[in-house]
Amino acid sequence: MSVLWSFFEHFVTIIIPCFPIFDTAFSRNVLQLLPHFWIGTRNRKGQIPCHISGQWNGAGCEPLLWSKKHAQQGWFEVDVRKEDVTAPDVIALLQDHLKSMTMHSPPESIHALNADRLRQPDVTFWSARENGILLGCGALKELNSRHGEIKSMKTSPHHVRKGAANRILRHMLEEARRRGYQRISLETGSMEAFLPARRLYEKAGFQYCDPFAHYKENPNSLFMTLNIS
């Protein structure tokens, strides 16, 4: 049994990384089969092939305790990058975002930004991609020099539960701190369809608050804020 396990460990940590086609999707499927898996084998340079986990660096990295939960959280090659909102797949995702808003909110309660508005100087837009495939997006709107607003958080329906939204949110919070913001706020829907989004923000430390900026009390809207000073 130990010989078989050793072979399997060698296959996951050494063989799979040698084939780009297996780098993400296949590795994820393998890892999700394991209740717990200790990546302890090192490559010929003495480094753990951590690009399976999305945490590769040139100096190698520490062994990771893998589980199905870890695999589902999207610890893979998710690249969060700034985009100019012109790529066809980005436009399609934003259109889907606006369409979903109209399905769950009355017109007067829809505050989502269209592509033209997202290209304005006061808004920075990011995408999350895995091997070039769009997983989701998000934007940060500057309200003033100390206050930013999260906009256009959307995960592709084909790539849910990969951790893209969490990765984008963390990236934007890091950027907000770098800019010197003291507070980050957002508006989201009060309906059940927006519950996953609210849970994401709650886990990140956001708290419910009164309307901010130009917003007004609305039974279809909830407002959240996070002090990052």
Which segment of 22-36, 168-182, 213-227 scores lowest on mean pLDDT?
22-36
% residues pLDDT > 70 (the chain): 67
Residue 160 banded pLDDT, cuts 50, 70, 90: confident
Strand pairing report for 123-130 and 78-82: antiparallel
Nearest to 137, CA basis, from 82, 187, 201? 82
Q: What does pTM read for this prediction?
A: 0.66
Reading the block at residue 204, the tokens are 């990140």
In our burial notation (b when 16+ CB lie closer than 10 A, e otherwise), range 88-102 reads eebeebbeebbebbe
